[in-house]
Every structure is written in structure tokens, then in C-alpha cells.
A and B are shown apart, each in its own frame.
Chain A
């Protein structure tokens, strides 16, 4: 009998880390990707990777605080054991990447330099210029190439994953995939399949994501019965460069290095921004959030920028919404050294040098916090049991999800520089559990019929698409409509009436997709049919995102409904302030009870998502109000603390797990 064989779908940071670790554990890996793995979307990550380090440790930082920042930043929506484990692995992961040759920026003494990122008060982020994702990706790509030469890894680049194949017992036994060049179909029997296919930004049309981030692989797992968690949580990055073909990211590191966000006091002030004196500028993030300043968490920065442009009418331009992101007060030499890569992007695409002229930026869809629902096995210390086959496994045995396409780690909002960490962590951590799962799979082998039937079904579907009559709907136009609809109704500000309408509209678009015609009916490198299939798979995701957003009547992290927002306390009278704070905390507790739950979507037989809600494991750090810069936050915090103390005295504490680190 052949040794265990694992199929990995996607070769970004998560897929490559898993492949490297599996190969090291003696497993043969098929690594399949839409693009050569070195060209994966991870390359676009700019700012850095978070972990506690020797220096921050001496300033009072520790793994516990990184864990706490992550769950607080994510508004407590993530299960805590995996996050705790990830924070504890952080220093080891950055050390490993350092050993792999990642050219991290250095201090004069030769140590890794660190910068500060959003949602924390420590300089916890290691970085390689402003192309950290690219550098981490390359280091892993190089190691996987080494394993490829050694014969442990076989790459299938320019291949599309079409479906997981499940046996009668419901276990995943492999997948059906298609060669994007020859259009040949092929069955990949596997003892386990790991999906590491990234986010689904293309559901929103233009985003900061790469063209392969259609979400199709995830959608195909969902169609096969995999659950999808927290779909409605989509991160809109505060700072992107608007463009006709895509919205290009302007990294948070621009603010981490001192970049300031502002608008002129005079709406659409026609002057050159450099001629507008400080007194006539509004540094609105610094004014409203004195503690974090320009480095408030992303959801807050995004809403403030959106708000100042739309509600306050202070957009820099009239026809195009944007604000200034200003670096011109920082010496050119520092900018070149620390931000060279991203400033070059701005200069190349906008034709203006951001070292001398403030950039014009606006929020853009950036990251999917939600994704395939996955399991984990909690350890006695509150972390994870290493080597458990349950870790990162979807509800389908033998089918795993890692990286951006899983729903863990980031809750309702991801902190900057945590995505690279979660991708590499989940990739490394999943491996021993997958090995255990392979052993389980080996206990019985399905016959060849299973794969053959699935292959035939995919071939048939493909042939049907190609033979659709001409003159029908144009898939590119439909995608454009879908993107505009989703961006308008389901990003920064969400309203129930709009969400309900959008849901109906997406269903109508899906119907029209059934009548799509292909402009290419050939059987060689047919990009048209591949795109049309991926588009078809966007609708189920769009529907679960919209329905999740519609049903979730609260504000949490990136999900913001003004109707349910909990404004701060403006009153001056101390007694009144106190009373309002009590009320605020009552409401907060009520809301936590009702909504601190994972949205779990299942693909219904009628094509509509069926949503259920699952409790979140918040047993390690109990949820508290997220008060970044909220007016009256001090008095709310005071009342909250008193309640916590009262509760602690009333009930004798169970042994807290690792509290205080």
C-alpha cells in the first residue's frame, strides 16, 4: 500500500507552510494552485507579522497581551483556544522565518527591527521593507521547491479545484480538479485534503485582493456540505488607492511609521495640500482617538474615513471620495528604507511621489474574517492539543481549511499583521493532525468508482456550460453588477432594508447566470469558462454573507448597523453619566448574551443558506466592551470594572487558565 498522500489546494503562506511541514513529516503532497505558487496573493501583504519579542517583553508585553489584543480587536467573536495557541507560537514562527532567510529590517546592532501596528500599544511587528508578505511567501516557496526537488512534493500549477469527493460515510477522499491549460480533468485521490485558497474579495468586484481570490474553492466545499462561519465579517481596509481595475492596498505600516490622515476644513479645498496650513486641517483620527491616534483598529478607521467623506461632506475631491494620508513630514531617507515598496506602488499607479505629496486614499474590501467552519481540540491549559486530527478540520472528516479561508483567529475584525501569522501558524499546526487523519483514512480504501463518478459529473457540467446557446448574459457584466451591489449594501455601513433587497437582487443575478453565454467554447486554455464557473460559485457566498449580515442585528467589529449602534455618553452631570453608563452596560450584556455567537451557514437544498448560531468559547478572557476612543468610555469602563469585581466576589473563581501569562 502506498504511503499517505495529502492534497493541498492553494500555495500561499498557509498552503506552503502546511506542505513544508507535511513533507518534513514524511507525507507525499500534491500542491495544487490556480497560479504558480510564488505568484499567490500572500505576496501582496505589505506591513509585517506580529509576535511578542525580547524587546516588547521588557516593556511589559507577553503572549497573553498579544492574545488579548487579538480577541479584543476581534470583538470577542473568535474561539479563544486557537488564538491563544497562535499568540504563543508567534515568536517561534518569526524566528523560523528569520532562519529561512527572510530579509527582515535590522537594528544597528543586527537584531530584527519592529514597528507598531493598529490595535496594540507595542512595537510587535517584524517587517521586511514594505513587502513582508512577499518575502515570507518566497522563503516558504523556496523550501517547498527544495522538497519538490527531493521528490516529496508535486506541484500542479494552473489547476482549478472543482470539488471535494466524499465517500458514503461522508469522509473526504480526494478531489476533482481541472488543468487550466489543457482543460483536462483529473481525479486526485487523497487521504486528506487541505483547502488553503484565501479570501473571496472578488465577490465585491474590485477589492485589494488578487484576481484568483474568487472564493470558488471554498464555495465548492460549501456546496458539498462544509459549513461556513461568520461570513458577514468582511474587513474593509481603511486605506487603499482607488483604481479602475483594482483597489490597491496602502499598508497600515504607512500609519505605523507616522503617517497622518486628514482632510481640509474647507470642503474640497482647491489648494495644493502642501499649502494648507495645519490649522486648516482636520486630523480626525488623532482628534477622536487620542490614545491610538492614526492606529485605531481597521474597522474604526474605515468608518471614520467613510463617515467624514459621506456624512460630513469633507472628501478631498468632489467626484471621488478620498482623504489625505500624509507622510511628507517624515524624512525621505526613512521612508525609502521602511516603506519603499508601497510608496513605489503609489508612485507607479498614481504618477505622484507620496514622499512629497500627500496620498489620496479611501477604504476598500480587504480580508474575509469569515470562512470555512473548522474544529479544534482544546487542551487543559486553554490552548490546543497538538496533533489532534480535529484541529482545522471542517465538519467533513478529512477536509481541512487553513489560512484566510478558515473562519478562526480574527473574529469580527482582524488586527493588522496578524494575518501572516495566522496563515503560517495554521499551516504548520495543521500538519501533525492531518497525519493522524491519514492514518484514519488508511483503515478503509474507497473503490475507484467513487472518483470516476465525480469526474464524469464534472466533465458533464463543463460540457453543458460550453454548449449553452449564444447571445445570453455576459459573465463579466454580471460580475460587475454583483460587485457594485455587494459593495454598496454590505461593506462599511449596513442597513436591513438594503440587505434584504440585495439578497433578492443576488438571487436574480444568480438566475441570470444560468443564462450566461460563453464567448469561448474551445477546449484549450479557456479562461472564459473558468471565470464563468467561478462567478457562479460567488452567488452562494454572496447570499450567506448578506443573510448573515441581515440577521445579525448588532454592531460588532467590521459589521456595523447604525440602527443598532451604541453611542457613547455625552452628558456632563456625574450622576447622569453614571446612570447612562449603567444602562449602556446593561445593554451590552444583553447584546453579548444574544449575539456573541458564531454564524454557521449550511448550504440548503433549495440553494438558500440555512443559518444557525453557535456559542463562542470565551472562557479564557471574558468579553468586555470595546471602547477604543468612545466618548464617555471612562465611565463605562468604570461601571464595567465594578460589575466584574462584584461578580468575582459573588462566585468563587474557577481556576483561571494561564491568566496573566
Chain B
């Protein structure tokens, strides 16, 4: 169910799509890119036409654009800026809107995209994060959320203390999918409750003061599904749960779990098929219990 939603389809669907499009593959591709030269500048559309090759993905399209830097109407332009690294959907860098949907550019296969929309491929930066340039956005808020929920195991230190706790295979199988979160930001992009926070440095403001103000702005706003899920991951770890209360505090603070409107978009767009709504449901129950406990502890 989730697989279909994230655009991968069942195996036969993908295979047959690839075969079908191979038989009627176009000579070239028209790619429309929403560009922006720097933060605060106007965005504008630009079209590129590049030769079709078998087995292309959006990354290879952008590589061709970078090498050619000539638009559809023959103008020489600067290469489109974008973020990428591993190209195998494990680093979380290359998130963008491809044909209007948030996803990883590396696994966005051209043959599939042509099935969806044969006339052109449309690339836009994510809309919930400030644009740095073109398709590159500033996602430091993703990592700030991880700090807010203390997404780590609070070990005493890194010296040898023997092995970690014994863990049943069931618990490992429960935890592992949550631990595969690549911090790509898809869940935040798709979430109606997650809104853009763009803070720019004021004239005369020190770097430290600016960073503090930006952090404050992030912390007033929604954490995002990934951070809620990480909080649940560490609250279920035998050592991680030793600071479960601190995480519950963060989850029930401003910008916490109460912001979730249960739209369930997050789980539909997650490229790693992480059961985010299950984590959110667990976090919701835990938050209720925690609030009751706190009430009686007062």
C-alpha cells in the first residue's frame, strides 16, 4: 500500500513500464526547472531539452544539464544547483519536487516519469525549506528537530563497557525500520502542519545572535514526523529510554505532537516506507499517559 503511494509500484508494474517505454522511447526529454539565484530572489522557470538515454534518472538529467548549460532556446546559463551524494537513496540529499511530488531524485526513474506525464519533467525545490539556490534548500531544521527530541542513546562514554543490552529479534525488527530514516525531509514537505520557517540575518546582527534567533524560530514550529518517530525509536531502546521523559517533554512542548493533524501524508511519501503514522500514534498515546502521570505527580 505504501509502496504504491511512494511511486515505486509493484515489481511487475515497474518492469512492464520500463519495457513499454523502451519500445516507444522519445529522442529527447523536455525538462522544466524552477530556478532561483539566491535566497530572497524571484524564482523563474527555465526549460532544457536533453537527449533521451535508457535507464536515466533525474540525477543523470541534472548531470547532463550541468554539462550542457544551454536552455531550450539556446541561451547559455549557469548550471542548475542541486544537492546529491550517494545516488542510491541512502544519504537523503537529493530530495526535490519531481512532477509536483516530493521524492528522491536518484530513484525518480525517467521511464516511470514519462509514464506519469509524457510531455515534460518538472523539477522544483522543496517548498517548506528556504531555497539556497535552484533546487538546493536549507534543511538544517531537519537536524535541529533531532536535537530537540534528543535522538541518541545517552551512553556514559565510549570506553569499553562490554556489549549493549540483549534485544529480542522482534524488538530489533520493530526498531530497524525506524532507524533507516535518511533525514530527507519528504515527510515534512508533505505535511500540511509543517510550514516554512525562513529567517535571514539582520543588518549588524552577529552570527551567534542570528543562529540563536533562527533556532528559536525552529523550536516554536512543528518538529515533523521523522523526529517524532526517532523519539519513539530511542524511547523503546533499553538504554535510550532512560531519558524518555526528556523526550516526552519535547514532544509535548510547543511545536510537538499536538501539531499533527493526522493527514497521513508523511507515511505516503516516505521513500524508506517507514511506518511514521504508527510512530505518531504511539507517541500520541505515550503523550497522553505522560500528561496524566505528570498531573498526578504534581
Q: Is the CB of A131 within 8 A of B180?
A: yes
Contact indicator per residue, chain A 194-227, by CB within 8 Å of chain B (1) or not (0): 0000000000000000111000000000000000
Report B15-61 residues with CB < 8 Å from chain A CB. 15, 17-18, 37-38, 53-57, 59-60
For B55, the closest partner residue in chain A by CB is A244
The docked-state distance in angstroms from the alpha carbon of A95 to that of B162 is 6
Q: Is the CB of B158 within 8 A of A348?
A: no
A411 CB → nearest B CB, Å: 27
Stretch at the interface among A298-306, A521-529, A597-605: A521-529
Q: Is the CB of A351 within 8 A of B17?
A: yes
The docked-state distance in angstroms from the alpha carbon of A181 to that of B140 is 13
The docked-state distance in angstroms from the alpha carbon of A345 to that of B240 is 30
Most chain B beta-carbon contacts within 10 A, residue among A20, A40, A98: A98
Contacts of B18 in A (CB 8 A): 351
Contact indicator per residue, chain A 293-322, by CB within 8 Å of chain B (1) or not (0): 000000000000000000000000000000
- B93 CB-CB contact with A under 8 Å: yes
For B16, the closest partner residue in chain A by CB is A351
Task: Tell whether A41 pairs with B86 under 8 Å between CB atoms, given A348-B107, A352-B15, A474-B67.
Answer: yes
The docked-state distance in angstroms from the alpha carbon of A146 to that of B66 is 38
For B56, the closest partner residue in chain A by CB is A244
Contacts of A21 in B (CB 8 A): 158
* Interface size classification for chain B: 35 or more
- B169 CB-CB contact with A under 8 Å: yes
Contact indicator per residue, chain B 66-97, by CB within 8 Å of chain A (1) or not (0): 11010000001111010011111111110000
Contacts of A38 in B (CB 8 A): 92, 143, 183
For B18, the closest partner residue in chain A by CB is A351
- A472 CB-CB contact with B under 8 Å: no
Q: Is the CB of B78 within 8 A of A211?
A: no
Report A54-110 residues with CB < 8 Å from chain B CB. 92, 95-96, 98-101, 103-110
Q: Is the CB of A528 within 8 A of B173?
A: no
Report B160-187 residues with CB < 8 Å from chain A CB. 160-164, 166-169, 171-173, 175-176, 179-180, 182-183
The docked-state distance in angstroms from the alpha carbon of A476 to that of B62 is 12
The docked-state distance in angstroms from the alpha carbon of A139 to that of B146 is 13
Q: Is the CB of A248 within 8 A of B88?
A: yes
- B11 CB-CB contact with A under 8 Å: yes
- A477 CB-CB contact with B under 8 Å: yes
The docked-state distance in angstroms from the alpha carbon of A476 to that of B183 is 29
The docked-state distance in angstroms from the alpha carbon of A415 to that of B245 is 43
Contacts of B53 in A (CB 8 A): 244
The docked-state distance in angstroms from the alpha carbon of A107 to that of B91 is 28
Kindly identify which residue among A39, A101, A243 contacts B237, using a CB–CB cutoff of 8 Å.
Answer: A101
Contacts of B169 in A (CB 8 A): 105-108, 110
Kindly identify which residue among B136, B139, B163, B173 contacts A98, using a CB–CB cutoff of 8 Å.
Answer: B163
Task: Tell whether A519 pairs with B69 under 8 Å between CB atoms, given A244-B55, A525-B136.
Answer: yes
Most chain B beta-carbon contacts within 10 A, residue among A38, A112, A212, A347: A38
For A157, the closest partner residue in chain B by CB is B140
Report A145-195 residues with CB < 8 Å from chain B CB. 145-146, 148-149, 181
Contacts of A99 in B (CB 8 A): 153, 155, 161, 163-164, 239
The docked-state distance in angstroms from the alpha carbon of A96 to that of B160 is 6
- B109 CB-CB contact with A under 8 Å: yes
Q: Is the CB of B89 within 8 A of A211?
A: no
For A249, the closest partner residue in chain B by CB is B88
- A428 CB-CB contact with B under 8 Å: yes
Report A426-445 residues with CB < 8 Å from chain B CB. 428
Kindly identify which residue among B57, B175, B180 contacts A341, using a CB–CB cutoff of 8 Å.
Answer: B180
The docked-state distance in angstroms from the alpha carbon of A249 to that of B234 is 30
The docked-state distance in angstroms from the alpha carbon of A258 to that of B8 is 27
Task: Tell whether A522 pairs with B179 under 8 Å between CB atoms, given A20-B158, A101-B237, A352-B11.
Answer: no
Report A1-54 residues with CB < 8 Å from chain B CB. 20-21, 24, 35-36, 38-41, 43-44
The docked-state distance in angstroms from the alpha carbon of A527 to that of B164 is 43
Contact indicator per residue, chain A 100-125, by CB within 8 Å of chain B (1) or not (0): 11011111111110000000000000
Q: Is the CB of B179 within 8 A of A519?
A: no
The docked-state distance in angstroms from the alpha carbon of A528 to that of B81 is 9
Task: Tell whether A110 pairs with B167 under 8 Å between CB atoms, given A142-B152, A519-B79.
Answer: yes
Provide a sorted-by-A list of 14 A–B residue pairs whose CB atoms are within 8 angstroms. A24-B157, A39-B183, A43-B86, A43-B91, A98-B164, A99-B161, A101-B239, A105-B172, A106-B172, A142-B151, A143-B158, A210-B87, A345-B88, A526-B78
Chain B residues with CB under 8 Å of chain A are 8, 11, 14-15, 17-18, 37-38, 53-57, 59-60, 63, 66-67, 69, 76-79, 81, 84-93, 106-107, 109, 132-133, 136, 139, 143, 146-147, 150-155, 157-158, 160-164, 166-169, 171-173, 175-176, 179-180, 182-183, 234, 237, 239-240
Instruction: Other than A99-B164, A149-B147, give 15 A-B pairs with Cβ distance below 8 A.
Output: A35-B91, A39-B93, A39-B183, A43-B90, A101-B239, A110-B167, A111-B166, A134-B182, A246-B88, A345-B89, A345-B90, A522-B37, A524-B133, A525-B132, A527-B79
